[in-house]
Amino acid sequence: MSYCLNPNCRKPQNRDSVEFCRNCGATLRLKGRYRPIKPIGQGGFGRTFLAIDEDKPSKPRCVVKQFLPANQDAQHLKKAAQLFEREAMRLEELGNHPQIPALLAYFSQEEQQYLVQEFVDGKNLAELLHEHGVFTEVQVRAVLVGLLPVLEFIHAHSVIHRDIKPPNIIRMATGNVARQSRSSEWTELLQALSLEAAQGYIDFVSDCRFSDRLREGFTQPPRALSIATYTHWQQMAAQFTSYADLPFAQRQQLVAKASRLLNERRQLSGSAETHEGHLALVDFGAAKAAIGTALVNTGTTIGSPEYLAPEQSRGKAVFASDLFSLGVTCIHLLTNRSPFDLFDTSDNTWIWRQYLKTPVSETLGHILDRLLEPGVNRRYQSATDVLRDLEGGLSEGQVSPSPAVPRHSASSPQSKPIAVLAQPAQTPGTVRSAASVAVQVIAQAIAPKPQREEASPARRKAPKALPTWHCIHQLLNPGKVYAIALSPVEPLLASSSGTTIKLWDVQTGQPLRTLTGHLDVIYCLVISPDGTVLLSGSADKSIRLWDLQTGQRLGTIALHTDTVLSLVLSPDGRTLASGSLHDPMKLWDLETNRERASLSGQAGRIEALAFSPDGLWLASGSSDGTVALWDVNLKTATGREPRFLKGHVQTVAALAFEPDGKTLVSGSWDGTVKLWSTRTQREKRTLQPESGRVTALTLSPDGKLLVTGSDTLKLWQPRTGKELATLSGHTSVISAIALTHDSQTLVSSSWDGTIRIWKNGDA
């Protein structure tokens, strides 16, 4: 059948073979190629049709949108035309994404505007809700995991969708050939690499055609990898062209790296799947470009009323408005009730839990509550923030079959945990949370970021590596390394990956013992000043104490109601400070096993903590970009009101005090390292590593060496701000850094699954 698009035609159905409507004479093919076959929807701005692209041999289906506003008022027509054109612009800007229908054409014909899109085969969530009833927690988690990366992608392109709702989210049919991943191709490449390893690294991969196949594995935009990782992959693929000329050790390393990255790519390709297929986000008719986090122009209310965020209803949509609508979508799926019924206007509160057939877990409930916050500042600010919380209850990006917070696999290098934390315990008061590392990595996994600007000539002249430092050991882990801590009294290193803690001999690089017991990802580690006790904080909300000599668990401290992100011990080892996703910071007396104080005052997550050398001050870094100094004098134990250090514009991810306590060093996502006077609370100096977000830092015990981590390690003289060297080797974001007491051994961990131990050659 062919369908006439003349809105006044009374008999629009026609045979396939005719070119003109038998009833009204209108042309049946758009641009001579797109043949509408049936209507599939109608809205306030036009009609939507299923069509056939007759120009292609396979005759693929596509979607034709016809601009036909119901309101013919001149002013409304003008606005509607702008929105229709805007949808085409947004789709073109977003380019090719596997979960967004591609724009095929935008044109006018016979005084009508048309937009042609890729056809997404499947059922939308509203249809699935109608057919199968309320969604389970497992299914709602799948929706979040599947759609949040898409929102992060469009937000990274400065686009606000403004109409997130069940009808605009389609679960694609499994057999949608156009959307099938390249997983099978990557599996073949992995098998080839495995065969090469089994045959002793001497066989066919020297063939340049293999290099070409590797490159082709990444021909699509690197949506699931950072630009840095994508570039690294292309460079690595090029190395296979000269594989036969490489030494055996380099061949071995090259094959191992390629295998690891292919595994990541294959796993990430399925990260947006539900049980039956990927989720697609459609209907960008309401989407609009934004500057920063707000729309270019405000004052226009667009979207579906039931799902609108309060600020969007006032014509001032922000990125967080899409998150609000996603939250409303989720509670609608859980209850099958109108969102209007789920909000009590008399009490101005959500009552969605009253309509649940089965209670949801505390984790999911907390996430939904934050998505539904009416105040923008109290709501999640980005999709990665939501993913970060959500991943505390998921394993490997997949949905858990249990509503309870499940275990997080420690063996999967593809898992995407909430956070990473580490900092050496041997330097008093320098434990920081690298929860921010996880946010960065997830963000990179969702949408490629622009490549950094070329460094200044002066910066390019800085040495690429300090000749006296070299890597003596590379410790391999089954998954991403989340945290490390060095013993202050012996060459012992603790590291966490997933739910597992490993102890290592720093001198030999050999594993000593594995500690298990946490039920979820371990984000932070700290060792007591006497080197006898290890403390670990986890997404299972607990802080556990371990005997380092025996590996036995000594006890558990329950301070928080959510994920523990950061830990730090006072220099005398008597007081533990902890930070979490949402709870106030806690001070715990380890001698009496009682809570000393609860500190609140920063708006965001507490990403970093550090005690001053005298133990009288506690510094905390937050996702709101502030650093707070707290008076935690052990005699008064008041906590008092904090003193704020303001200067960073993004998350403060790392903190450390200089040995004299007069200077505090902070590292931030804004790419800067700042040195602050603790007496005046003023900024003394700013360092700019020019290597991306600063995710880790540490100071030597004598204060003469500062090491920062982002994509690379950089060494500095903190008092002069002089950059000394860059140490390369890690292939992903550095999660933690530690220095030994003599400053001659440096340990770094990364999301590439490795720990590198560096030695100063002059020692």
Cross-strand pairs, 566: 579
> Which residue is associated with the tokens 């002059």?
762
| Position 309, amino acid | A
Contact 92, 103 (CB under 8 A): yes
Contacts with 351 (C-beta within 8 Å, 6 or more apart), sequence order: 342, 343, 344
Residue 225 DSSP label: S
Please give the pLDDT value at position 424.
32
User: What pLDDT sits at residue 423?
Assistant: 31
Measured over all CA atoms, what is the biggest interatomic distance in the chain, rounded to whole angstroms? 93
Of 217, 193, 727, the residue nearest 474 (C-alpha): 727
Q: Give CA separation, 573 vs 524, 569, 592, 678, in Å.
A: 16, 6, 13, 22
Q: Annotation-wise, does 759 bind a ligand?
A: no
- At residue 458, the pLDDT reads 38
254-307: pLDDT as tens digits: 777 777 666 655 544 443 333 345 788 987 765 444 433 333 333 344 456 889
Where exactly are the structural domains of the chain?
2-118, 122-176+273-393, 182-268, 420-444+466-760
Q: What is the mean pLDDT of each run of 10 residues along the chain (763 residues)?
A: 90 89 90 91 77 89 82 64 71 72 84 85 91 91 88 81 90 56 55 62 50 53 42 67 74 74 54 53 63 36 73 85 96 94 87 92 91 92 82 38 30 28 33 34 33 39 56 85 93 91 92 86 92 91 91 85 89 92 87 86 87 94 90 63 88 93 92 92 89 89 93 90 89 90 93 90 60
Q: What is the DSSP string of 358-425?
A: SPPPHHHHHHHHHHT-SSGGGS--SHHHHHHHHGGG-BTTBPPSSSS-----SS-TT---S-EE---S
Beta bridge mates, 619 = 610, 629
Contact predicate 708/695, CB 8 Å:
no
Q: Is 43 exposed, middle or buried (0-12, 13-18, 19+ CB in 10 A)?
A: middle
How far is residue 237 from each of residues 348, 449, 572, 655, 733, measured CA to CA in Å? 57, 21, 51, 38, 20
Which CATH superfamily hosts domain 420-444+466-760?
YVTN repeat-like/Quinoprotein amine dehydrogenase (2.130.10.10)
Distance, in Å, from the CA atom of 673 to the CA atom of 283, rounded to the nearest integer, reads 42
Write the burial class of residue 175 (CB in 10 Å: 0-12 exposed, 13-18 middle, 19+ buried). Answer: exposed
| pLDDT value for 405 | 29
For 2-118, CATH gives: 3.30.200.20
Task: For residue 313, give the DSSP letter.
Answer: H
Which parts of 33-84 are beta strand (E)?
34-42, 46-53, 61-67
**CATH of the domain spanning 122-176+273-393:** 1.10.510.10
Q: How many angstroms from the chain centroid is the CA of residue 404?
A: 22
Q: Where are the beta strands (DSSP E) in 623-763?
A: 626-631, 639-646, 652-657, 663-668, 673-677, 683-687, 696-699, 706-709, 713-717, 722-727, 734-739, 745-750, 754-760
Contacts with 87 (C-beta within 8 Å, 6 or more apart), sequence order: 65, 115, 284, 285, 287
